[in-house]
Structure 1
Amino acid sequence: MSETPLILLTLIALKAGAKIMDIYKAGFSVDTKSDASPVTEADGAAEAIILAELAKLAPEIPVVAEEAVSKGEVPETDKVFYLVDPLDGTREFISRNGEFTVNIALIEEGAPVAGVVYAPALGEIFWGAQGKGAFRATVQAGVIGTQQAIRVRQAPTAVTAIGSRSHGSEETSAWLRQYVVNDFVAAGSSLKFCRVAEGTADLYPRHGRTMEWDTAAGDAVLRAAGGLVTTLDGQPLTYGKRARADATDFANPYFIAYGDTGLKKIS
């Protein structure tokens, strides 16, 4: 894995999160991007901070960032690059339920090897890296508290599934029927990966559109915690998908995030 210090990525996420919260508290307008998704000034302001900080930290590593891509600003990527979603869960931000996150991930050879997910309104931060484990902590007044190692749990007979608060689908409900589901929890943004990583949920199936910056950081945390994210045919979800005839650059296929990898099924 690249030697980019993970603690520095958490500090960048904290800085972006502070800006987001300033805008969250002050009030904001909502615009619509070309793909009909909502965007606020917080998305752009947070991304500007992250891009500036990453340029200082590792200027040699390209950064693929959601808002820049929406403007046609897409760098060339090779084996190593960053994926950034400055404000994942914009709908949650607009509805003010607190379930939005700052996401920064490092990709190597198509895999998310390090990631940070920060939920500034909830005061929670998660991070993890390949071979180094995954962690969570509370954040108060912009300062990270005592870190706690997290690990996926062994799945019980009746599992807890988690899914999108804003993008549910009947396909997801149908897929879950192959399990005994004790509870289904709705949550926003990349927090869903983190709930599986910390062992409060077992499965996160997603039968809907996502982009790589939506998933990379949470995926990195989950993999570092012992979990797995696969496509519906059981292959690991990969990153840096470009120049495909049948899909937009950086678009993900449907996927399943597993805590206990013994739950893995091909559908």
Structure 2
Amino acid sequence: MPDTLDMKQVIAIALDAGKAVMEIYEKDFDVEYKDDKSPLTEADKRAHEIISEGLQKISPLPILSEEGKDIPYEERKNWERYWCVDPIDGTKEFIKKNGEFTVNIALIENGEPIAGVVFAPALGELYWAKKGEGAFKGRVRGSEFRAPKEEDVQALPLEESRTTGEGLRIVASKSHLNEETKNFIDSLQNTEPGTRNPELVSRGSSLKLVMVAEGSADIYPRLAPTMEWDTAAADAIVREAGKMTYRYDTEHGTRSTEPDTRHPTPDTQNLEPLQYNKENLLNPWFVVR
């Protein structure tokens, strides 16, 4: 199925969901709160419906979605391939109306994200990738949310990442800049050879991962909780752009509670890629570079 997957179909589903989301975004809407206190809007629900229905028409694979039913690991562990969906990543950004939220669709195979679409409808930015076929960024113009024209598509990365030197660009969360992340950033100047005056860039949702994929940021440390659906689609784009999302826990198999200050900008040869469809869907800490 991956060989025959037409990314244009997946992109079309993301665009349809984005259009429906923007119709709600541009009016007053109610906000509910789930059991974990995270916000939920009408837009999350509508996007989930559109994506789920669309994906089932492409391929009747299982769907793991933030807004879907809780699927026991005993059932999930037998999945060789499935869709991993976050109808809106950055619901807090959606509620604030700052535009930095995304529609996310990923295809996972044997624990690896092999295709992904990330669409930021308020910004008109569309990213997609399929394993072996490259990663791309497209500009979606107008309110009809049609697929980008050829002249509006660029292959990723758009620029080379900096590894050391003046102004290493670090992207971090607007809503979750915790003490551990601040310590990580501070330690760069002391332990990364040749790094001076790192520049901090803040952005919401999965846009942080794709900034590294496109080369507008050099490193994204996430030393705070995320779920698999928060990262899967953007992670596929990161990997196909020649970068990687590395797990950054102090011991393999456990999520660290303290930053590993021994390797603040990690030797990637000693780190493992993030894995998906784990028994616990909570991601470990990770670093994208």
TM-score (norm 1): 0.89
% identity of equivalent residues? 45
Cα pair 2:246 2:272 within 8 Å, conserved: yes
Q: Indicate yes or no: 2:282 matched with 1:251.
A: yes
Residue by residue over 1:216-249, the C-alpha shift from the partner in whole angstroms, topping out at 9 and shown as x without a partner, is 011111111000001115211000011xxxxxx3
For residue 114 of structure 1, give the secondary structure of its aligned residue in structure 2.
strand
TM-fit CA distance, 1:154: 3.6
Q: Which amino acid aligns with 1:175?
A: F
Q: Indicate yes or no: 2:70 matched with 1:63.
A: no
Which residue in 1 is equivalent to 2:169? 160
Cα pair 2:161 2:217 within 8 Å, conserved: no
Which residue in 2 is equivalent to 1:188? 204
Q: Which amino acid aligns with 2:156?
A: I
Which whole-Å CA distance do the structure 1 matches of 2:42 and 2:52 have between them?
16
Q: Indicate yes or no: 2:223 matched with 1:216.
A: no
What is the total number of aligned residue pairs between the two structures? 249
Residue by residue over 1:145-201, the C-alpha shift from the partner in whole angstroms, topping out at 9 and shown as x without a partner, is 321101162415231000101011111121232343531001000001111111110
Cα pair 2:161 2:216 within 8 Å, conserved: no
Which whole-Å CA distance do the structure 1 matches of 2:208 and 2:182 have between them?
16
Which whole-Å CA distance do the structure 1 matches of 2:72 and 2:128 have between them?
26
Which whole-Å CA distance do the structure 2 matches of 1:36 and 1:93 have between them?
16
Which whole-Å CA distance do the structure 1 matches of 2:35 and 2:161 have between them?
42
Which residue in 2 is equivalent to 1:241? 278
Which whole-Å CA distance do the structure 2 matches of 1:202 and 1:10 have between them?
26
- Once the two structures are superposed, the pairs formed by residues 12-27 of structure 1 within 5 Å of their partners are 12-27=13-28
Quick check: which one's strand share is greater? 1
Structure 2, unmatched stretches of 5+, are 250-270
Which residue in 2 is equivalent to 1:85? 86
For residue 12 of structure 1, give the secondary structure of its aligned residue in structure 2.
helix
For residue 56 of structure 1, give the secondary structure of its aligned residue in structure 2.
helix
Which residue in 2 is equivalent to 1:4? 5
For 1:147, which of 134, 142, 153 is the aligned residue? Answer: 153
For residue 282 of structure 2, give the secondary structure of its aligned residue in structure 1.
coil
Calculate the aligned-residue CA RMSD, in Å.
1.5
TM-fit CA distance, 1:7: 1.5
Which residue in 2 is equivalent to 1:48? 49
TM-fit CA distance, 1:88: 0.4
TM-fit CA distance, 1:5: 1.2
Which residue in 1 is equivalent to 2:118? 117
Which residue in 1 is equivalent to 2:268? none
Structure 1, unmatched stretches of 5+, are 243-248, 259-267
TM-fit CA distance, 1:110: 0.5
Which whole-Å CA distance do the structure 1 matches of 2:84 and 2:27 have between them?
28
TM-fit CA distance, 1:129: 1.6
TM-score (norm 2): 0.83
Which whole-Å CA distance do the structure 1 matches of 2:72 and 2:9 have between them?
24
Q: Indicate yes or no: 2:212 matched with 1:203.
A: no
Q: Which runs of 4+ in 1 moved over 2 A?
A: 72-77, 178-182
Which residue in 2 is equivalent to 1:169? 178
Higher mean alpha-carbon deviation, 172-181 vs 23-32, is at 172-181
TM-fit CA distance, 1:73: 5.3
Q: Indicate yes or no: 2:101 matched with 1:95.
A: no
Q: Which amino acid aligns with 1:173?
A: K
